[in-house]
Structure 1
Amino acid sequence: MSRRIRIAFVIDYIESPTAGTEKQLNTILDNLDTEVFHPCLCILRESEWSRSQYKGEIHHADVPSVSSLSFVPRLLGLARYLRENRFDIVHTFHRDGDLFGTIAARIAGIPVVIGSRRDQGYWLNWKERGLRRLIRRFQTHYITNAHSTRKQMMAQENIPASIIEVIPNGIDLSLFSSSTSREPLRAEWGMDDKDVVIGCVATLRPVKDHDGVLKGFAQACSKNARLRLVLVGDGRCRDDLERLASELGVRSKVTFLGKRRDIPAILSALDVGLLFSKSESMSNTILEYLAAGLPVVCSDVGDASEMVNGENGALVPQGDIPALAEGMLSLGDADVRTRMGAESRSRSRQYEIGLCMERFRSFYMRCVS
């Protein structure tokens, strides 16, 4: 192909580029080789971020929900935009991005339509499964970030292995190589260097199982009084979680930081990274723990076992609170944490952003060849 390959990345809405899928999409847009590719971000519903902060080429499609009377003409408008701008590939993200982006792409006659699977469908009901079956016939390829999700897609949706590409999440390791002193943050949290500070970076919603985190932490605290817990993230469960921490008698040892943007600095002040999710595909949070050189305690869901094992942390059965408590206690020794943290940092190199983008480049080139 003599000209640059034009790719439309279609997503429903981006409030902030720091959430899981949004972060990875933004990483692709920031690092895609623009000598070979011409990317455009297509947003179905605009936000303050998409209006004023994104600096690349962007198209606000203004496609509302299916229940709106303006749904059909706006969808046709998106299809017209894709056709008139001669896109070679449409790559969709999230539920509405998958649905509307795929339909618009097929109306426009776009030859390559790529769907994304970045979770394992814990939220799906019969209606959503039906929508997936509807658009399945119009998607030519899929990208997922986890081998476990690929296997699930093959088994549950009968999608051929030949059209599913696994590209693990990528990360800019330089963001996590700062030598910033951790003392100021720990002092802000009321903690000192003798405390073992465990951090969990996750939105406060049920799938992340912060209830289980607090219960496991309470059990571990009964055997190690120096343990402290920092919860980074916000959400509708916060009030309930604060009450639970009080009921468990550990509220004074738990710090709720809310939503933060200084994640690398926060991770540098931790001793252990923790995630006890009920469902994941490939966790950006765990990847950031590795990049920050932290030992990790996490539930064995998705592709967690490819990032964490006994050499750099503790992999525990999902929902097993006593095992979670034991995982926390196993990292009480500073020498163990130092050794495992070094192993985490070493493992993070296989997810370096340059390697990730080379996989995307190769895949997109194959799609249009």
Structure 2
Amino acid sequence: MNRNVRIAFIIDYIESPTAGTEKQLNTILENLDGRTFQPCLCILRASDWSRSEYKGEIYHAEIPSFRSLSFVPRLIRLARFLKENEFDIVHTFHRDGDLFGTMAARLAGIPVIVGSRRDQGYWLNRKERALRKLIRRFQTHFITNAHSTKRQMIAQERIPEGIIEVIPNGIDLSLFAPSDARESLRAEWGAEAGDILVGCVATLRPVKDHDGVIRGFAQACSENPRLKLVLVGDGRCRPDLERLASELGVRSRVEFLGKRKDVPRILSALDAGLLFSKSESMSNTILEYLAAGLPVVCSDVGDAGEMVDDANGALVPSGDVRALATGLIGLADADARARMGAESRRRSREYEIGMCMERFKAFYTGCLS
């Protein structure tokens, strides 16, 4: 091929490139080798971010749901765009991106159609499984970010192992250097000398099990009153979680920060990271904790066990509130936290963005060979 490889990355909507899949897609777009590839971001439904903040090549397809008859001509228009611009690869993300992107790529005759699996399908119902099965026959390759998800794809979806590539999430380690904001942030949150600040960065929705986080934290506080919990993220569960913290007598020790764009800065002020999800594939949040050099207490879901063990934190069964409390109590010793944090930072180097992008480069070029 005498020109750069053209790749269309198709996703339904990006409000902000801070959520898991959106963050990783934006990382790929920013770091993909421009000497070899020419990427284009295709958005099905525009947002303020996609219209005004994204600086790369972009196409707004404006495809609504199946409920609108206008999706047919707009789907055809997307297919025409892919064909006329001679894309070599289409890589799709999220439910509608997979569905409409795969259909458009098939209509356009794109030779390589890559599907994504970046969660373990906790949200799938019978209808969604049927739609996924329908489009799967047209997808030539798959990328997942977790070995556990690959095993699930083989066992439950009967996808051949040879067309599934595992590429872990990548991270720019330079963003997680120590910050001089540590003491000012801790003072802002009312932390006193000797307090142990544990942060949980996750959207406030049921799958992240913040209810269990607060219950486990309350149990741990009964044995170590120096613990303080910092919740980063927002969502419809927030009023219920604030009420629960009050009922359990720990509201004064829980900071609700809401949605934030300065996560690396916040992590620099913490003593440990926490995630108690019911389902994950490979968690960006855990990866950020590692990069920030934090001990990690997390539930054993997805590929968490490949990133966290006794050497850098505690891996606990999902939903086991008492085990979570025990993990938090184990953070009491400052020297132990320092050792675990150093091990976390060492492990984060395995996910450095440059290494990750080399794997994407090899995968995309291999698809066309």
TM-score relative to the length of structure 1: 0.99
Are the equivalent residues in 1 in contact too, given 2:179–2:265 (CA < 8 A)?
no
Q: Which residue of 1 aligns with 2:361?
A: 361
Q: Which residue of 2 aligns with 1:125?
A: 125
Deviation of 1:75 after TM superposition, in Å, equals 0.4
Structure 1: 5+ residue runs without aligned partners? none
Deviation of 1:69 after TM superposition, in Å, equals 1.4
Are the equivalent residues in 2 in contact too, given 1:5–1:37 (CA < 8 A)?
yes
What is the CA–CA distance in structure 2 between the aligned matches of 1:193 and 1:158, rounded to whole Å?
55
What is the CA–CA distance in structure 1 between the aligned matches of 2:122 and 2:248, rounded to whole Å?
28
Q: Which residue of 1 aligns with 2:149?
A: 149
Q: Which residue of 2 aligns with 1:333?
A: 333
What is the CA–CA distance in structure 1 between the aligned matches of 2:260 and 2:27, rounded to whole Å?
19
Q: Which residue of 2 aligns with 1:59?
A: 59
Are the equivalent residues in 2 in contact too, given 1:12–1:43 (CA < 8 A)?
yes
Identity %: 78
What is the CA–CA distance in structure 1 between the aligned matches of 2:61 and 2:264, rounded to whole Å?
34
Letter in 2 for 1:64: P
Letter in 2 for 1:111: P
Are the equivalent residues in 2 in contact too, given 1:183–1:192 (CA < 8 A)?
no
Are the equivalent residues in 2 in contact too, given 1:169–1:351 (CA < 8 A)?
yes
What is the CA–CA distance in structure 1 between the aligned matches of 2:133 and 2:340, rounded to whole Å?
43
Indicate the SS of the match to 1:90: strand
Alpha-carbon deviations, 1:191-248, whole Å to 9, x = none?
Answer: 0231011100000000000000000000000001101000000000000000000011
What is the CA–CA distance in structure 1 between the aligned matches of 2:218 and 2:39, rounded to whole Å?
48
Indicate the SS of the match to 1:222: helix
Indicate the SS of the match to 1:168: coil
Q: Which residue of 2 aligns with 1:28?
A: 28
Letter in 2 for 1:328: L
Alpha-carbon deviations, 1:282-319, whole Å to 9, x = none?
Answer: 00000000000000000000000000000000000010
What is the CA–CA distance in structure 1 between the aligned matches of 2:299 and 2:285, rounded to whole Å?
12
Letter in 1 for 2:182: R
Q: Which residue of 2 aligns with 1:316?
A: 316
Cα-Cα RMSD: 0.5
Letter in 1 for 2:97: G
Letter in 2 for 1:93: F
Letter in 2 for 1:32: L
Q: Which residue of 1 aligns with 2:174?
A: 174
- Give the alignment of 1:157-172 within 5 angstroms: 157-172=157-172
What is the CA–CA distance in structure 2 between the aligned matches of 1:176 and 1:156, rounded to whole Å?
37
Q: Which residue of 1 aligns with 2:205?
A: 205
Q: Which residue of 2 aligns with 1:137?
A: 137
Q: Which residue of 1 aligns with 2:343?
A: 343
Q: Which residue of 1 aligns with 2:267?
A: 267
What is the CA–CA distance in structure 2 between the aligned matches of 1:180 and 1:265, rounded to whole Å?
9
| Count, aligned residues | 369
Within the alignment, does 1:293 sit opposite 2:293 as a pair? yes
Deviation of 1:2 after TM superposition, in Å, equals 1.1
Divergent runs of 4+, >3 A:
none
Q: Which residue of 2 aligns with 1:215?
A: 215
Deviation of 1:347 after TM superposition, in Å, equals 0.1
Letter in 2 for 1:207: V
Q: Which residue of 2 aligns with 1:243?
A: 243
Structure 2: 5+ residue runs without aligned partners? none
What is the CA–CA distance in structure 1 between the aligned matches of 2:192 and 2:295, rounded to whole Å?
19
TM-score relative to the length of structure 2: 0.99
What is the CA–CA distance in structure 1 between the aligned matches of 2:164 and 2:241, rounded to whole Å?
39
Q: Which residue of 1 aligns with 2:307?
A: 307
